[in-house]
Protein backbone atom coordinates (compact mmCIF):
# COMPACT_ATOMS: atom_id res chain seq x y z
CA UNK A 1 0.00 0.00 0.00
CA UNK A 2 1.34 3.43 -0.93
CA UNK A 3 1.46 6.33 1.50
CA UNK A 4 -1.12 8.10 -0.65
CA UNK A 5 -3.52 5.17 -0.36
CA UNK A 6 -2.99 4.98 3.37
CA UNK A 7 -3.70 8.70 3.79
CA UNK A 8 -6.86 8.40 1.71
CA UNK A 9 -8.15 5.49 3.79
CA UNK A 10 -7.32 7.18 7.07
CA UNK A 11 -9.09 10.39 6.03
CA UNK A 12 -12.10 8.48 4.75
CA UNK A 13 -12.44 6.39 7.89
CA UNK A 14 -11.91 9.50 10.01
CA UNK A 15 -14.84 11.20 8.29
CA UNK A 16 -16.95 8.06 8.64
CA UNK A 17 -16.16 7.86 12.35
CA UNK A 18 -17.15 11.52 12.79
CA UNK A 19 -20.50 10.80 11.14
CA UNK A 20 -21.00 7.79 13.40
CA UNK A 21 -20.26 9.88 16.48
CA UNK A 22 -22.95 12.35 15.38
CA UNK A 23 -25.40 9.47 15.00
CA UNK A 24 -24.43 8.14 18.42
CA UNK A 25 -25.08 11.53 19.99
CA UNK A 26 -28.43 11.74 18.20
CA UNK A 27 -29.29 8.27 19.47
CA UNK A 28 -28.43 9.30 23.01
CA UNK A 29 -31.38 11.69 22.96
CA UNK A 30 -33.71 10.16 20.35
CA UNK A 31 -33.17 6.38 20.50
CA UNK A 32 -36.69 5.38 21.48
CA UNK A 33 -38.43 7.86 19.19
CA UNK A 34 -36.38 6.80 16.15
CA UNK A 35 -36.93 3.11 16.94
CA UNK A 36 -40.70 3.62 17.07
CA UNK A 37 -40.74 5.65 13.87
CA UNK A 38 -38.88 3.13 11.70
CA UNK A 39 -40.10 -0.16 13.20
CA UNK A 40 -41.46 -2.43 10.45
CA UNK A 41 -40.53 -6.07 11.17
CA UNK A 42 -40.88 -9.11 8.89
CA UNK A 43 -39.96 -7.27 5.69
CA UNK A 44 -38.22 -9.95 3.53
CA UNK A 45 -35.99 -7.48 1.69
CA UNK A 46 -34.87 -5.83 4.92
CA UNK A 47 -34.16 -9.22 6.49
CA UNK A 48 -32.14 -10.22 3.40
CA UNK A 49 -29.99 -7.06 3.44
CA UNK A 50 -29.59 -7.27 7.21
CA UNK A 51 -28.28 -10.82 6.90
CA UNK A 52 -25.74 -9.72 4.30
CA UNK A 53 -24.20 -7.65 7.10
CA UNK A 54 -22.83 -10.88 8.57
CA UNK A 55 -20.70 -11.68 5.52
CA UNK A 56 -17.81 -9.14 5.50
CA UNK A 57 -15.96 -10.30 8.63
CA UNK A 58 -15.88 -14.07 9.08
CA UNK A 59 -15.92 -15.36 5.51
CA UNK A 60 -12.89 -13.31 4.42
CA UNK A 61 -11.24 -14.32 7.70
CA UNK A 62 -11.48 -17.96 6.56
CA UNK A 63 -9.39 -17.10 3.51
CA UNK A 64 -6.85 -15.30 5.69
CA UNK A 65 -6.65 -18.28 8.02
CA UNK A 66 -6.01 -20.53 5.02
CA UNK A 67 -3.06 -18.34 4.03
CA UNK A 68 -1.73 -18.56 7.59
CA UNK A 69 -2.08 -22.34 7.48
CA UNK A 70 0.03 -22.43 4.32
CA UNK A 71 2.74 -20.26 5.85
CA UNK A 72 2.81 -22.39 8.96
CA UNK A 73 3.01 -25.57 6.89
CA UNK A 74 5.87 -24.19 4.79
CA UNK A 75 7.80 -22.58 7.66
CA UNK A 76 11.25 -23.65 8.80
CA UNK A 77 10.08 -24.44 12.33
CA UNK A 78 10.18 -27.92 13.78
CA UNK A 79 7.71 -30.39 12.32
CA UNK A 80 5.50 -30.58 15.46
CA UNK A 81 5.18 -26.78 15.51
CA UNK A 82 4.45 -26.62 11.78
CA UNK A 83 1.76 -29.27 12.06
CA UNK A 84 0.25 -27.71 15.19
CA UNK A 85 0.08 -24.27 13.58
CA UNK A 86 -1.44 -25.63 10.39
CA UNK A 87 -4.07 -27.64 12.25
CA UNK A 88 -4.93 -24.63 14.44
CA UNK A 89 -5.50 -22.29 11.51
CA UNK A 90 -7.50 -24.88 9.57
CA UNK A 91 -9.64 -25.59 12.65
CA UNK A 92 -10.28 -21.86 13.11
CA UNK A 93 -11.33 -21.51 9.47
CA UNK A 94 -13.79 -24.37 9.88
CA UNK A 95 -15.06 -22.87 13.16
CA UNK A 96 -15.48 -19.36 11.75
CA UNK A 97 -17.35 -20.73 8.75
CA UNK A 98 -19.58 -22.89 10.94
CA UNK A 99 -20.46 -20.14 13.42
CA UNK A 100 -21.28 -17.44 10.90
CA UNK A 101 -23.27 -19.78 8.63
CA UNK A 102 -25.23 -20.96 11.65
CA UNK A 103 -26.35 -17.35 12.11
CA UNK A 104 -26.81 -16.66 8.39
CA UNK A 105 -29.27 -19.55 7.99
CA UNK A 106 -31.11 -19.04 11.28
CA UNK A 107 -34.62 -17.64 11.68
CA UNK A 108 -33.60 -15.20 14.40
CA UNK A 109 -30.87 -13.28 12.58
CA UNK A 110 -30.60 -14.74 9.08
CA UNK A 111 -32.24 -15.89 5.88
CA UNK A 112 -34.45 -18.31 7.80
CA UNK A 113 -36.51 -15.31 8.90
CA UNK A 114 -37.58 -14.80 5.29
CA UNK A 115 -38.99 -18.30 4.82
CA UNK A 116 -40.00 -19.03 8.40
CA UNK A 117 -37.76 -22.10 8.39
CA UNK A 118 -34.24 -22.92 9.48
CA UNK A 119 -32.24 -26.14 9.02
CA UNK A 120 -31.28 -27.95 12.25
CA UNK A 121 -28.26 -26.39 13.94
CA UNK A 122 -25.93 -29.35 13.16
CA UNK A 123 -26.82 -28.99 9.48
CA UNK A 124 -26.17 -25.24 9.52
CA UNK A 125 -22.87 -25.76 11.29
CA UNK A 126 -21.89 -28.53 8.87
CA UNK A 127 -22.63 -26.38 5.84
CA UNK A 128 -20.62 -23.59 7.40
CA UNK A 129 -17.66 -25.85 8.07
CA UNK A 130 -17.64 -26.89 4.41
CA UNK A 131 -17.76 -23.24 3.33
CA UNK A 132 -15.01 -22.35 5.79
CA UNK A 133 -12.90 -25.21 4.52
CA UNK A 134 -13.41 -24.17 0.91
CA UNK A 135 -12.48 -20.57 1.60
CA UNK A 136 -9.51 -21.72 3.66
CA UNK A 137 -8.32 -23.78 0.69
CA UNK A 138 -8.45 -20.68 -1.51
CA UNK A 139 -6.32 -18.85 1.03
CA UNK A 140 -3.89 -21.77 1.29
CA UNK A 141 -3.36 -21.79 -2.48
CA UNK A 142 -2.98 -18.01 -2.57
CA UNK A 143 -0.38 -18.25 0.21
CA UNK A 144 1.70 -20.50 -2.01
CA UNK A 145 1.72 -17.94 -4.81
CA UNK A 146 2.40 -14.96 -2.54
CA UNK A 147 6.12 -14.16 -2.17
CA UNK A 148 5.86 -11.65 0.67
CA UNK A 149 8.09 -12.56 3.60
CA UNK A 150 5.87 -10.64 6.01
CA UNK A 151 2.58 -12.17 4.87
CA UNK A 152 2.03 -14.34 7.95
CA UNK A 153 2.77 -11.54 10.42
CA UNK A 154 0.60 -8.97 8.68
CA UNK A 155 -2.33 -11.30 8.06
CA UNK A 156 -2.20 -12.52 11.66
CA UNK A 157 -2.43 -8.91 12.78
CA UNK A 158 -5.60 -8.46 10.74
CA UNK A 159 -7.11 -11.62 12.25
CA UNK A 160 -6.26 -10.48 15.77
CA UNK A 161 -7.84 -7.05 15.20
CA UNK A 162 -11.02 -8.56 13.76
CA UNK A 163 -11.29 -11.13 16.56
CA UNK A 164 -10.61 -8.54 19.27
CA UNK A 165 -13.28 -6.17 17.96
CA UNK A 166 -15.80 -9.00 17.77
CA UNK A 167 -14.97 -10.19 21.28
CA UNK A 168 -15.27 -6.65 22.64
CA UNK A 169 -18.76 -6.25 21.20
CA UNK A 170 -19.95 -9.65 22.44
CA UNK A 171 -18.60 -9.03 25.95
CA UNK A 172 -20.22 -5.59 26.03
CA UNK A 173 -23.55 -7.05 24.88
CA UNK A 174 -23.54 -9.57 27.72
CA UNK A 175 -22.55 -6.94 30.27
CA UNK A 176 -24.96 -4.15 29.29
CA UNK A 177 -28.01 -6.47 28.83
CA UNK A 178 -29.91 -3.81 26.92
CA UNK A 179 -33.34 -5.01 25.69
CA UNK A 180 -33.87 -4.84 21.95
CA UNK A 181 -36.53 -2.43 20.64
CA UNK A 182 -38.79 -5.26 19.44
CA UNK A 183 -38.78 -6.66 22.97
CA UNK A 184 -39.89 -3.31 24.38
CA UNK A 185 -42.61 -3.01 21.75
CA UNK A 186 -43.93 -6.47 22.69
CA UNK A 187 -45.33 -4.92 25.86
CA UNK A 188 -43.89 -7.14 28.58
CA UNK A 189 -44.62 -5.67 31.98
CA UNK A 190 -41.54 -4.33 33.75
CA UNK A 191 -39.22 -4.32 30.72
CA UNK A 192 -38.39 -0.70 30.10
CA UNK A 193 -36.15 1.39 27.89
CA UNK A 194 -32.68 2.20 29.20
CA UNK A 195 -30.03 4.41 27.57
CA UNK A 196 -26.95 2.89 25.92
CA UNK A 197 -24.54 4.26 28.54
CA UNK A 198 -26.40 2.61 31.44
CA UNK A 199 -26.21 -1.07 32.39
CA UNK A 200 -29.70 -2.52 32.33
CA UNK A 201 -30.91 -4.76 35.15
CA UNK A 202 -33.40 -7.57 35.63
CA UNK A 203 -32.64 -9.49 32.43
CA UNK A 204 -32.27 -12.87 34.16
CA UNK A 205 -35.56 -12.39 36.05
CA UNK A 206 -37.41 -11.45 32.86
CA UNK A 207 -35.97 -14.45 31.02
CA UNK A 208 -37.21 -16.73 33.78
CA UNK A 209 -40.61 -15.07 34.17
CA UNK A 210 -41.50 -14.69 30.49
CA UNK A 211 -39.36 -17.40 28.91
CA UNK A 212 -37.46 -14.83 26.85
CA UNK A 213 -34.20 -15.82 25.16
CA UNK A 214 -30.95 -14.25 26.31
CA UNK A 215 -30.37 -12.75 22.86
CA UNK A 216 -33.31 -10.39 23.41
CA UNK A 217 -31.15 -8.53 25.95
CA UNK A 218 -28.13 -8.05 23.67
CA UNK A 219 -29.06 -4.85 21.87
CA UNK A 220 -25.95 -2.76 22.60
CA UNK A 221 -23.79 -2.65 20.56
CA UNK A 222 -24.84 -4.10 17.22
CA UNK A 223 -22.91 -7.13 16.00
CA UNK A 224 -24.30 -6.89 12.46
CA UNK A 225 -23.13 -3.27 12.21
CA UNK A 226 -19.73 -4.27 13.55
CA UNK A 227 -19.34 -6.95 10.90
CA UNK A 228 -20.70 -4.81 8.07
CA UNK A 229 -18.27 -2.03 8.96
CA UNK A 230 -15.40 -4.56 9.08
CA UNK A 231 -15.49 -4.78 5.28
CA UNK A 232 -12.49 -2.50 4.72
CA UNK A 233 -10.40 -4.23 7.39
CA UNK A 234 -11.18 -7.62 5.88
CA UNK A 235 -10.58 -6.34 2.34
CA UNK A 236 -7.24 -4.93 3.42
CA UNK A 237 -6.38 -8.37 4.78
CA UNK A 238 -7.36 -9.94 1.46
CA UNK A 239 -5.18 -7.40 -0.36
CA UNK A 240 -2.22 -8.74 1.58
CA UNK A 241 -2.95 -12.23 0.24
CA UNK A 242 -4.01 -11.03 -3.23
CA UNK A 243 -1.80 -7.96 -3.94
CA UNK A 244 -3.81 -6.98 -7.04
CA UNK A 245 -6.67 -5.99 -4.75
CA UNK A 246 -4.65 -3.13 -3.25
CA UNK A 247 -5.62 -0.77 -6.06
CA UNK A 248 -9.29 -1.34 -5.12
CA UNK A 249 -8.95 -0.24 -1.49
CA UNK A 250 -10.41 3.20 -2.23
CA UNK A 251 -13.48 1.61 -3.81
CA UNK A 252 -13.76 -0.76 -0.84
CA UNK A 253 -13.88 2.27 1.46
CA UNK A 254 -16.84 3.77 -0.42
CA UNK A 255 -18.67 0.43 -0.56
CA UNK A 256 -18.12 -0.11 3.16
CA UNK A 257 -19.59 3.25 4.15
CA UNK A 258 -22.70 2.80 1.99
CA UNK A 259 -23.14 -0.87 2.91
CA UNK A 260 -22.70 -0.21 6.63
CA UNK A 261 -25.27 2.57 6.70
CA UNK A 262 -27.78 0.41 4.82
CA UNK A 263 -27.27 -2.53 7.21
CA UNK A 264 -27.54 -0.19 10.20
CA UNK A 265 -30.87 1.12 8.90
CA UNK A 266 -32.13 -2.42 8.30
CA UNK A 267 -31.27 -3.49 11.84
CA UNK A 268 -33.30 -0.59 13.22
CA UNK A 269 -36.24 -1.28 10.91
CA UNK A 270 -36.36 -4.87 12.17
CA UNK A 271 -36.43 -3.65 15.76
CA UNK A 272 -33.17 -5.43 16.53
CA UNK A 273 -31.27 -2.31 17.56
CA UNK A 274 -31.50 1.34 18.50
CA UNK A 275 -29.63 4.09 16.63
CA UNK A 276 -26.96 4.21 19.33
CA UNK A 277 -26.47 0.42 19.09
CA UNK A 278 -25.71 0.41 15.38
CA UNK A 279 -23.58 3.55 15.61
CA UNK A 280 -21.38 2.11 18.34
CA UNK A 281 -21.07 -1.25 16.60
CA UNK A 282 -19.79 0.43 13.44
CA UNK A 283 -17.54 2.74 15.46
CA UNK A 284 -15.78 -0.24 17.02
CA UNK A 285 -14.93 -1.54 13.53
CA UNK A 286 -13.70 1.85 12.36
CA UNK A 287 -11.51 2.14 15.45
CA UNK A 288 -10.18 -1.37 14.82
CA UNK A 289 -9.16 -0.40 11.27
CA UNK A 290 -7.43 2.77 12.43
CA UNK A 291 -5.54 0.80 15.09
CA UNK A 292 -4.52 -1.75 12.46
CA UNK A 293 -3.17 1.01 10.22
CA UNK A 294 -1.23 2.50 13.12
CA UNK A 295 0.29 -0.88 14.01
CA UNK A 296 1.32 -1.55 10.41
CA UNK A 297 2.55 1.97 9.69
CA UNK A 298 6.27 1.12 9.84
CA UNK A 299 5.85 -1.69 7.30
CA UNK A 300 3.72 0.42 5.01
CA UNK A 301 6.35 3.17 4.98
CA UNK A 302 8.99 0.64 3.89
CA UNK A 303 7.03 -0.53 0.82
Using an 8 Å Cβ cutoff, are 161 and 234 in contact?
Answer: no
Rounded-to-integer distance, Cα 127 and Cα 148, Å: 32
* Reported confidence tier of residue 299, pLDDT bands at 50, 70, 90: low
Q: How many CB atoms lie within 10 A of CB 246?
A: 17
Q: What is the pLDDT of residues 95-140, one digit of tens each?
A: 999 999 999 999 888 999 898 889 999 999 999 999 999 999 999 9
Residue 302 has pLDDT above 60, yes or no: no
Number of domains within the chain: 1
Q: What is the pLDDT of residues 242-254, one digit of tens each?
A: 999 999 999 999 9
Cα angle at 236 between 230 and 238, to 5 degrees?
Answer: 105
Quote the pLDDT of residue 177: 96
Using an 8 Å Cβ cutoff, are 219 and 179 in contact?
Answer: yes
Using an 8 Å Cβ cutoff, are 258 and 282 in contact?
Answer: no
Q: What is the pLDDT of residues 274-298, one digit of tens each?
A: 999 999 999 999 999 999 998 876 5
Quote the pLDDT of residue 17: 96
Rounded-to-integer distance, Cα 56 and Cα 216, Å: 24
Q: What is the pLDDT of residues 257-279, one digit of tens each?
A: 999 999 999 999 999 999 999 99
Q: What is the DSSP string of 242-296?
A: SGGGGGGHHHHHHHHHHHHHHHHHHHHHTTS--HHHHHHHHHHHHHHHHHHHHHT
Quote the pLDDT of residue 218: 95
The stretch 165-172 carries a mean pLDDT of 96
Compute the mean pLDDT over every residue in the chain, rounded to the nearest whole number: 93
Quote the pLDDT of residue 119: 93
Using an 8 Å Cβ cutoff, are 287 and 17 in contact?
Answer: yes
Quote the pLDDT of residue 297: 60
The answer, as to whether pTM is greater than 0.85, is yes
Structural domain containing residue 29: 3-302
Helices marked H in the chain: 3-38, 44-52, 55-73, 79-104, 112-115, 121-145, 151-176, 181-185, 203-210, 223-228, 231-241, 249-269, 275-295, 297-302
Amino acid sequence: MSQEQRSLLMRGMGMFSAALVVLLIAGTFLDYQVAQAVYAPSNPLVIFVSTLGLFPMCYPACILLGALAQRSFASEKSQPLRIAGTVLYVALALLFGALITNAVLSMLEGFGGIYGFEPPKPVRMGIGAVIGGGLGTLGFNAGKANKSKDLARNVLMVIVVLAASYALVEITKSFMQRPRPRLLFAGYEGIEFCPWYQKCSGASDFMTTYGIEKDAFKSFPSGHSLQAASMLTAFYGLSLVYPRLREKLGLALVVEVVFSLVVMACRMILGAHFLSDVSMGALVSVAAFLILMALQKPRLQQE
